[in-house]
Amino acid sequence: MALRRFKEILAAGELVRVFQAGRVFHPVVFELFGLAGGYHGFWLDGEHVGLSTHEMTVAALAARANGFDCFARIPPIGYWHVTQCLETGMGGVMAAQIHDVQQAEQFVCWAKFAPRGGRGLNVGGRDADYSHKPPARFVADANRESFVAIQIETAGALADVDRIAAIEGVDLLFIGPADLSLALGIVGQFHHDELWRAIEHVAAACRRKGKHWGAVVPDPQFASRAVESGCRLITIGGDLLAVRRGIEAFRAAFAAHFPA
């Protein structure tokens, strides 16, 4: 199955459709989304779920089997965490809870080899084809191909968004509407004018700096408005929500057989 990288799809000006996974972790979940059709890949939530490198390796294998690209959302806790994610075969990494441009720059440096960054060289991972890639080729390929996103979900990141968008090596700014609405004091109000002013601020920064932006889209109305505002990577659903809504659909369909 042909795999198109997120960077390739974005460069072509197309809309990237992804799902989120991590809470209900099993290869069958990834395959079910693959069989549904229309998705380009997924991201793993390593911020709220303690995913191991083994689980990330399994997810990356499932991604390739279904023609998916993928990246891992992780907290910016250290260079080793970024490296381990990339060596499992994840196509990239996304930093959660970034508060300023310095923190964003540090994260990018962890994800890139010299001269751009300070990532440690090891050719034993999947991203170096388990030592089949010569080191020089691996370094060049990884620096060019690895996908790096920065999540804009804090007041500090929002205030610094122009400088974050200008960082060399950042491929995407990603809006987390839940945390951003929390930071703005309008928690969960995804259609509030203040939240959309913040979103437009991020979109404008991306236009100025020639970068793409993405978002979790909590409902179809939000998705349509985001795409109209230039969003090019939308997260439509995920593993937990798929299971929950599936259960709800069963209960609704068989309501006569459940207690009132």
- As a whole number of angstroms, the distance between CA 84 and CA 52 comes to 10
Q: Is a pLDDT exceeding 80 seen at residue 1?
A: no
Asked, for residue 244, whether it belongs to a domain, the answer is yes
Number of domains in the chain: 1
- The dihedral over CA atoms of 14, 140, 85, 110, expressed in degrees to the nearest 10, equals -100
Asked, for residue 173, whether it belongs to a domain, the answer is yes
Asked, for residue 1, whether it belongs to a domain, the answer is no
Q: Find out whether 21 and 240 touch, Cβ atoms under 8 Å.
A: no
Residue type, 12: A
How far CA 137 is from CA of 114, 125, 127, in Å, comes to 13, 14, 11
Domain containing 111 equals 6-257
Asked, for residue 101, whether it belongs to a domain, the answer is yes
Q: Give the pLDDT mean for 247-254.
A: 97
pTM higher than 0.75: yes
Nearest to 139 by CA among 167, 105, 160, 114: 114
Share of the chain above pLDDT 90, in %: 98
The tens digit of pLDDT for each residue in 9-46 reads 999 999 999 999 999 999 999 999 999 999 999 999 99
Q: Is a pLDDT exceeding 80 seen at residue 144?
A: yes
Q: Find out whether 106 and 78 touch, Cβ atoms under 8 Å.
A: no
Instruction: Give the CATH number, domain containing residue 69.
Output: 3.20.20.60
Structure confidence at residue 10 (pLDDT): 98
The tens digit of pLDDT for each residue in 194-243 reads 999 999 999 999 999 999 999 999 999 999 999 999 999 999 999 999 99
